Amino acid sequence: MRRVAGLCLGLALAACTPQQQDQIARDAARSTVNRVLLERYPGLPLGPAIDCIIDNASAQQILALAAKTVGGPDAASYEIVGRIVQKPETIRCLAVEGAPVLLESL
């Protein structure tokens, strides 16, 4: 089933422009990141955190996370998100974008 879903995603991407392919991959990666954050980082403002992670992920990381949308996140997904979260630019983004949202919710 996962193989069929991956093949379908690959075929859909092949028919798109590079910009559309990037957006589809980012949207799929967002789904995986959302699930990882819900489990690993409870209380983190999801919207800003997901944006910070996606914006600071490499193209390879985006594609790896996007591939896990159908079957759900696995150990590799958690590791990828963890590496992105530890990047200085992601930490800065979370401090600027995530902290105000977190403080507003208190």
Is residue 70 classed exposed, middle or buried when 0-12, 13-18 and 19+ CB atoms within 10 A define those classes?
middle
Residue with the larger pLDDT of the pair 8 and 68: 68
pLDDT tens per residue, range 30-84: 999 999 999 987 777 789 999 999 999 999 999 999 999 888 899 999 999 999 9
| Cα angle 81-84-85, degrees, rounded to a multiple of 5 | 85
Tell me the pLDDT of the chain averaged across its residues: 83
* 41/14 Cα distance (integer angstroms): 34
* 2/18 Cα distance (integer angstroms): 24
